[in-house]
Amino acid sequence: MKTLIIVDAQNDFMPGGSLPVPNGDQIVSVINTIQPKFDLVVASQDWHPQNHISFASNHPEKDVFGTIEIQGQSQTLWPDHCVQNTNGARFHPKLNTDCWEAIFRKGTDPSIDSYSAFYDNGHLKSTGLAGYLKEKGSSQLFFCGLAADICVYYSIFDAFKEGFACFFIEDASKALDAERFEKMKAEMVYHGIQIISSKEI
């Protein structure tokens, strides 16, 4: 079964949001165009409590984009974003959600971040997405969304480790740091993850 996974296409990651990805809103029309081509469409949604450990505002002695250590891993401190039940956490208003069968929320635990749609950053807790996809019979997973170099990237590699065939739809995604993402794309190719455009679906 051919499955589309839309990662975090939320207002706070769009231009004008609290953590905007450059030109992030340009992916919305592309995602809307490709959705009918899939047997199954699901999405992830960043869904943070206000006291989330990754927010710089909860560390008065630290600056935005500074780092701390959590669970033995380096954690970037972000602007407050995708706070539960705020407009910033909602999906872009022009994004078609009619055919979505499920939404998997992540980042709900205030004590650890969750870039991947599958697990938190410490791999301590699963969102249930992998099991859901396996039960549905999904074999090929196509990823798009925001940000390509963070949440999309980590989602793809968790899916890859779960044994799924993974595809990255480049023109339906945007990176926060485009230069860094070029190196990440090379890593994807090395591992056999296919990078495609929406026209190739």
**What are 131-156's pLDDT values in tens digits?**
999 999 999 999 999 999 999 999 99
Q: Which of 8, 46, 113, 120 is catalytic?
A: 8
DSSP three-state, residue 184 = helix
Percent of the chain's residues with pLDDT above 90: 98
Q: In angstroms, rounded to a whole number, what is the distance separating the alpha carbons of residues 28 and 146?
A: 11
Q: Which of 151, 158, 166, 174 is catalytic?
A: 151
Sheet holding 165-174, edge to edge: 102-106, 40-46, 2-7, 140-146, 165-174, 194-196
- Band (pLDDT 50/70/90 cuts) for residue 42 is very high
Domains, the chain, ordered by start: 2-49+85-200 (3.40.50.850)
User: What Cα–Cα distance (Å) separates residue 162 from each residue in 34, 43, 58, 102, 196?
Assistant: 25, 18, 34, 19, 21
Our answer to whether residue 151 is catalytic in this structure is yes
Indicate if the pLDDT at residue 34 is higher than 90. Answer: yes
Q: For the whole model, what pTM was predicted? A: 0.97
β-bridge mates for residue 126, sequence order: 119
The verdict on whether omega for the bond into residue 165 sits within 30 degrees of 0, i.e. cis, is no
Our answer to whether residue 8 is catalytic in this structure is yes
Among 2-11, 71-80, 139-148, which is the least confidently predicted range? 71-80
Our answer to whether residue 106 is catalytic in this structure is yes
pLDDT at 71 (0 to 100): 79
pLDDT at 50 (0 to 100): 98
Q: Which of 12, 25, 80, 106 is catalytic?
A: 106
136 residue type, one letter: K
Q: How far is CA 158 from the centre of its chain?
A: 12
Q: In angstroms, rounded to a whole number, what is the distance separating the alpha carbons of residues 81 and 85?
A: 11
